[in-house]
Amino acid sequence: MRKIVFVLIVLFFSNIQFSQSKEECFANLSIFAEYAKVKNYKAAYQPWLELKKQCPDLNSAIYVLGERMLKSFIKSSDDTAKLQFQKDLVNLYDEWLQYFPKSKRGVSEVGKILAIKAQTMLDYKLASDSEIVQIYDDAFKNDPKSFKSPKGLYNYFKLYFKMYKSDDQDVSLEEVFDKYEELTEKFEYEMGAYTAKLDLILKKEENSTPLSSREIRNKKVYEVNMVACNTYLNNLNAIIAKESTCENLIPLYRKNFDSFKSDSVWLNRAASRMDSKDCSDDPLFVELVEALHELNPSANSAYYLGLLNDKKGDSKLAIEYYNESIDLETDNLKKAKTLYKIALKFKKSGQFSKSRTYANKALKYQPSMGKAYLLIGNLYASSANNCGTSQFEKRSIYWLALKEAKKAASVDASVRKLANKTAASYEGRAPSKTDIFSEAMGGKKISFNCWIGKSVTVPSLN
Is 218 among the domain residues?
no
The set of residues, in sequence order, having a beta carbon less than 8 Å from that of 18 and lying 6+ positions away, is: none
pLDDT of residue 349: 87
pLDDT of residue 4: 52
User: Rounded CA gap, 405 and 53, in Å?
Assistant: 58
pLDDT of residue 16: 45
Helix (H, G, I), strand (E, B) or coil at 191: helix
pLDDT of residue 296: 85
DSSP 8-class letter at 440: T
Contact present, 150 and 234 (Cβ < 8 Å):
no
Is 399 among the domain residues?
yes
Q: Are strands 455-457 and 445-447 parallel, antiparallel or unpaired?
A: antiparallel
Contact present, 157 and 183 (Cβ < 8 Å):
yes
Is 254 among the domain residues?
no
Q: Which domain holds residue 390?
A: 380-462
Sites in the chain below the pLDDT cut of 70: 1-20, 168
Is 408 among the domain residues?
yes
Is 136 among the domain residues?
no
pLDDT of residue 253: 94
Is 360 among the domain residues?
no
The CA–CA distances, whole Å, from 133 to 109, 231, 233, 239, 311 equal: 18, 21, 18, 17, 42
Is 248 among the domain residues?
no
pLDDT of residue 388: 84
**How many domains in the chain?**
1
Which pLDDT tens digit goes with each residue over 119-157?
999 999 999 999 999 999 999 999 999 999 999 999 999
pLDDT of residue 404: 97
Please measure the distance between the N-terminal and C-terminal CA atoms of the chain and give it in whole angstroms. Answer: 106
Is 154 among the domain residues?
no
Cα-based torsion angle of the residue sequence 85, 88, 90, 93 in order, rounded to the nearest 10 degrees: -130
User: Rounded CA gap, 387 and 393, in Å?
Assistant: 8
pLDDT of residue 23: 87
User: Rounded CA gap, 249 and 436, in Å?
Assistant: 54
pLDDT of residue 1: 52
pLDDT of residue 3: 53
pTM of the shown model: 0.82
pLDDT of residue 15: 46
pLDDT of residue 20: 53
User: Rounded CA gap, 370 and 418, in Å?
Assistant: 10
For the chain, give the number of residues.
462
Which pLDDT tens digit goes with each residue over 2-16?
555 444 344 444 444
Cα-based torsion angle of the residue sequence 324, 284, 270, 261 in order, rounded to the nearest 10 degrees: 90
Dihedral sign (CA 129, 130, 135, 139): positive
pLDDT of residue 327: 92
